[in-house]
Amino acid sequence: MCLAIPGKIIEIINPKDSLKQAIVDFGGIQREICIAWIDANVGDYILAHAGMAISVIDEEEARLTVDALNKVDQLNLILPEQN
């Protein structure tokens, strides 16, 4: 199973010898993410997985996803023991 996290592009970096990158804000944490495979601009929201943007989403979808992830965190799920 994969998990993609929503974030907002705050800066685009165009290195000459590498894939197109962006500084993305994930709720106050900023990371450099590869955006070479999507059409995105500063201010856009993206879904990122393993350091790569996999799609552009709207702000409402980003907010709903973050809300859902916060609810999962509050569940305090306990996995059953494996025998």
Q: Residues of the chain with pLDDT > 70: what percent? A: 89
- CA 59 to chain CA centroid, Å, is 12
Lowest-pLDDT choice from 9-13, 73-77, 79-83? 79-83
Which tokens hold the place of 81?
Answer: 């023991």
Q: How many domains does the chain have?
A: 1
The parent domain of residue 56 ranges over 5-74
Is 81 contained in some domain?
no
Is 80 contained in some domain?
no
Among candidates 9, 10, 1, 16, which has minimal Cα distance to 53? 9
- Cα gap 16→5, rounded to integer Å: 27
pLDDT single digits (tens) 22-46: 999 999 999 999 999 999 999 999 9
**pTM, to two decimals:** 0.83
Is 59 contained in some domain?
yes
| CATH code of the domain containing 66 | 2.30.30.140
